[in-house]
Structure 1
Amino acid sequence: MAATDHSRSEAAKQRRQDQLQRWLGSETDQTGSESREISSGSGTRRAKVRFAQGAVFMAACSAGDREEVAALLRQGADINHANVDGLTALHQACIDENAEMVQFLVENGSDVNRGDNEGWTPLHAAASCGFIQIAKYLIEHGAHVGAVNSEGELPLDVATEDAMERLLKAEIKKQGIDVDTARKEEERVMLRDAMAVLAGDGTLTPHPNTKATALHVAAAKGYIEVLKVLLQCRVDVDCSDTDGWTPLHAAAHWGQEEVCGLLVDNMCDMGAVNNVVRARRTSFPSAVQSVMEL
């Protein structure tokens, strides 16, 4: 059990570093000024650079400038604007342990349960960083302790400190949440939505940032029943996300051999390459190799 807790802690710390790394050098991080120098034949001159309102808003939040944030909101800024990784200003305030900005954003309508591209909610971020006062505040203002990220993890699962675990376990018990049911909620909802599409009563929308489809998710996570229904819906078996990954890439990467077989049976393109390997073709992982040898 100790080894499991240690590995979970290390994984959470790595995600924390990944979050910070994505922030550094991003459009939001670099939005500190509205002007820059441009060199020309006649010398150096100052030129105005206009940043998107969302980037300016997130930069103001990160700087803790509540007056500027309030002014931007009055001008129509979206308080739930997300960057390329799906991080909102509230996510960032949680990561930065800026309790005052967290409170300001929540009081002004920030979505406490919005997930980033990997399904991490602000509570996941606070839990993984060990910021207990922020976690308490989020919970008091409607944050779901039973929310799961793309890895099927609750905020409890990414908590790295005993005090945080005690807080989240107590809240889970108080709310009567079945953690096993919560971890399976995504698959249940996806199957329901897929059945609705099959019946002609629903639509499937790719992720707004990554363009990953329900087929990508089902393939990566081995949701076999969801996958079978989606295939009956005649979805594009070779659809690609923004990185050029097809569902077969996702299934192969995560070792979902049965999924690979189903995709191959449905005539997926086994020669597809993603954006990373477009210049140099590589062999598929063992999950696909074993299917190819059948």
Structure 2
Amino acid sequence: MSSTTTLQLEENGNAEDKYGMTHVCRAIKSGNKDLVLAYIKQGLDMNYKNSVDGVTAFIRACNSENIDMVQFLIDHVKNLNVNLTDRNGNSALYYSCQYGHNEIVHLILGKTKPKVTLSTIEKALPMMKDSVMKELIDHYIADMTNNPGELVNVIAKGPASLALLQYVSAKTSDRCNVLDESIFLSACQSHGNIEMITWLLNDCGYQSIINTCTDSDGRTGLMLAVLRHAESVVELLLAHGANPYIKDRGNMNAVDLANTSYDDGADYMRIRDPPDEVVRIINLLTKHGNHQN
């Protein structure tokens, strides 16, 4: 042990500066494994949450994107609690998913027993590779307290691939009717899941109920796509027979919803023109409606 390390060890490794950064977290951030190991051998509480934002040493290591340090902590801290959360309620795994740290997420899933939540999967969808997403999904499904139906809805609504939805469907088919009507409605609220929606329409039988499959407000997939300004989805649904003039429980059809789906930043009189995307959607709806009449 160097004299510098010995001198640093004379201070409490969990002592904080005004920003909540502890000595051990500073060592982790700089990649000083010798000092971190010395603190561990000294018996320092490595699960300590700082008083400012509740960040732990493990969260700090993961957020620093230092995979060697993450591996080091997993290997050397016997009672490491990877599921501790900061004051925002977020764990190291959550942040690693949010920041797209694929290798760190793979490491956490393979070497520890993390709690995988639905919010973690939502954060991971736009950032993680499909191979890592499948690992997250496997951990989520393995926890029998989790609802597989909610998982499939998140996958359908999020920026996920068709292959990922099919993977989840196959994995959870024994626990719920994964391809129920809510899945189709969730997919219709996405912006880019054209391949997924096409598969649901053509291969899963949803085209036959495209105008009768509704949510609790009586809104069809077309209406939900309109409200999300998902122009490509609107066009796809219309091409598969969606009726723009069906009304929801509030007596509004898809055209009505399009006209009221934007905030013009003015007042209830809507003195400003609607955004271009809304105009295009209204034109699609009315053009299709005219062809039906």
What's the TM-score bracket when you normalise by the shorter of the two chains? Answer: 0.3 to 0.5
Larger radius of gyration: 2
Which structure has more strand as a fraction of its residues?
A: 1
TM-score (norm 2): 0.39
TM-score (norm 1): 0.39
